[in-house]
Amino acid sequence: MGEVNKGFTLIELLVTTAVLVIFLTAAAVIVQTGIESLGEARLSGEATRLAQEQIELVRNLTYEDVGTVGGIPAGPLAPSDTVELHGTQFLINTEVVYIDDPFDDLAPTDFLPVDYKRVRVEVTWGGMFPSRKPVVLLTDVSPTGIETAEDEGMLSILVYDANGQPVSSATVTIQADSLTPAVDMEILTDVDGKVLIPGAPICDSCYRIGVSKEGYTNDRTYSISEVDNPYKQDLSVLENKISEVSFAIDQPATLTIKATRDQTSNYQPFVGVQFRLHGTKIIGTTSSGDDVYKVDRTVVTGTGGLATATDLDWDQYVIEMPSLSSVDLAGSWPFIPISLLPNNSQQVTVVVQAASENSLLVQALDESRQPLDVFVSTLYLDTVPVATKSSGAVNQGNWSQTYFSSLSTELYSLTIEADGYATASADIDISGDVVESFILSTSSAEEAP
């Protein structure tokens, strides 16, 4: 009887290799798709915020001024504008047209077919994750000439979500305690997210208006007793005029902060760390010009070094150490600020170290804005090396970062070196806690914008 061959044949080896190649290719595609989806979602959120800001700018203009430069109707709005955020350019196109409403017939029967204006804002972007479809927001602006009794005007309220879509059945609360009789009412938005209330008594900044809906965030107006210079002040009503205000609400988000020590302590959880957490949405300024944020909280880490903040607006969030804190922020992953979308839950891991009066946090990414697993930073003072630091471990709070503490108030020089990348260098003026970001490339390296 012949001897049994227990080895692989050439065909079996080729089939096994082909199956392995297919598996690895599929896994790479899945990872790449996930990265692209996260990138597109973050940029879509930024585009929506830019479009909302443009819409708010429009709503703060008088009806006569709503128009574009060189357009019909004419006005001060730029038909096209470019904004750069975090290395990505966003193109904002604004279009204003007259609308002939069929309510009073259409042209040519209607001899004045300019019933109101419609504003369309479109935002697109390029970069690593370019827009597949634009973010588009629309708003209608009505003229001031309306039929009302003397000493009365009209309230026009619009409620929309993070994507600029109308929110129906939202509860609108309207209060005016200074009027006689006082106004205290609730009304639901229609399918277009609107509430129109004719016959409103005239007054100066007396209408407190708020919006809410179950499972959504809230928004409202503010008085000067709450915020010195509110951006959305309690509404005034003028005789025979339309007083317009808009609000944005959507499903709330959740952010979990995990605090740890650094790699020398094996990233042990840090209990009892107090953070200041605030968004970037501003409701006004103080008398000294400081921003007042819609969300501004203090959170403290508990078991496992965790602190969870719920019912957050979609926004970008900043994590800071309060004044006189015994620890400093020595890194975060993802980098701060943290982007939150509606109905989104996210965790950020931060590293904290003993506080010092002056420190430097160095962040480095590759050309595609992805973290570098390993790099080395060296800090110099008058060409003399002060310290050399290696970047933190992958997926920890100081991943792709190095931290220098206990520095003097001086002008330092910094170099960053990583295998396969050009060396980055910069002069950095240290005063307080400084954060510097760099983009490393295979041909050259530069400080991040």
Write out pLDDT tens, residues 401-433.
999 999 999 999 999 999 999 999 999 999 999
Measured CA distances, 314 to 36, 317, 344 (Å):
20, 9, 8
In a domain, 19, yes or no: no
**CATH number, position 304:** 2.60.40.10
Q: Return the pLDDT at 14.
A: 67
* pLDDT tens sequence across 4-32: 455 557 676 666 666 666 655 654 444 44
Question: What mean pLDDT is reported for the chain?
Answer: 86
Q: Return the pLDDT at 158.
A: 94
- Taking the alpha carbons of 64, 65, 70, 73 in that order, is the dihedral positive or negative? negative
* Domain hosting residue 427, numbered range: 356-449
Q: Return the pLDDT at 53.
A: 87
- Look up residue 227 and give its amino acid: V
Sorted by sequence, the CB contacts under 8 Å of residue 194 that are 6+ apart come out as: 156, 157, 158, 159, 166
Average pLDDT over residues 187-216: 91
* pLDDT tens sequence across 303-340: 999 999 999 999 999 999 998 899 999 999 999 999 99
Specify whether the CB–CB gap between 152 and 198 falls below 8 A.
Answer: yes
The two structure tokens encoding residue 11 = 């065909």
Sorted by sequence, the CB contacts under 8 Å of residue 78 that are 6+ apart come out as: 68, 69, 94
Same-domain pairing of 351 and 255: yes
Query: Higher model confidence: residue 104 or residue 378?
Result: 378
> In 3-state terms, what secondary structure has residue 308?
strand
In a domain, 397, yes or no: yes
* pLDDT tens sequence across 249-274: 999 999 999 999 999 999 999 999 99
Average pLDDT over residues 58-64: 84
In a domain, 167, yes or no: yes
Q: Return the pLDDT at 228.
A: 95
Same-domain pairing of 268 and 340: yes
Specify whether the CB–CB gap between 94 and 121 falls below 8 A.
Answer: yes
* pLDDT tens sequence across 98-131: 776 665 555 444 444 457 788 999 999 888 788 8
In a domain, 8, yes or no: no
Same-domain pairing of 151 and 205: yes
Same-domain pairing of 188 and 132: no
- Put simply, whether the predicted model's pTM sits higher than 0.85 gets the answer no
Q: How confident is the model at residue 190 (pLDDT cuts 50, 70, 90)?
A: very high
In a domain, 181, yes or no: yes
In a domain, 28, yes or no: no
Domain end marker among 116, 143, 170: 143
Same-domain pairing of 157 and 215: yes
Same-domain pairing of 148 and 230: yes
Question: Is the per-residue pLDDT at 223 higher than 70?
Answer: yes
Structural domain count, the chain: 4
Same-domain pairing of 46 and 130: yes
Question: Is the per-residue pLDDT at 344 higher than 90?
Answer: yes
In a domain, 231, yes or no: yes
- The structure tokens 């509110």 sit at 230
Same-domain pairing of 351 and 380: no
Q: Return the pLDDT at 21.
A: 62
Domain end marker among 355, 384, 415: 355
Same-domain pairing of 367 and 342: no
Same-domain pairing of 106 and 130: yes
Q: Return the pLDDT at 108.
A: 43
Domain end marker among 303, 337, 355: 355
Give which of 130, 135, 86 is closest to 337, Cα–Cα: 86
Which residue spans within 170-241 are E strands per DSSP?
171-176, 183-188, 194-201, 203-212, 219-220, 229-230, 235-237
Same-domain pairing of 187 and 133: no
Q: How confident is the model at residue 147 (pLDDT cuts 50, 70, 90)?
A: very low
- The structure tokens 């949405």 sit at 281
Q: CA geometry: angle at 188 spanning 187 and 193, to 5°?
A: 130
Average pLDDT over residues 186-206: 89
Whether the bond into 334 is cis, omega within 30 of 0: yes
How far out from the chain centre does Cα 73 lie? 32
Average pLDDT over residues 55-62: 85
Question: Is the per-residue pLDDT at 229 higher than 90?
Answer: yes
In a domain, 385, yes or no: yes
Same-domain pairing of 64 and 102: yes
Round the CA-based radius of gyration of the chain to a whole number and report it.
28
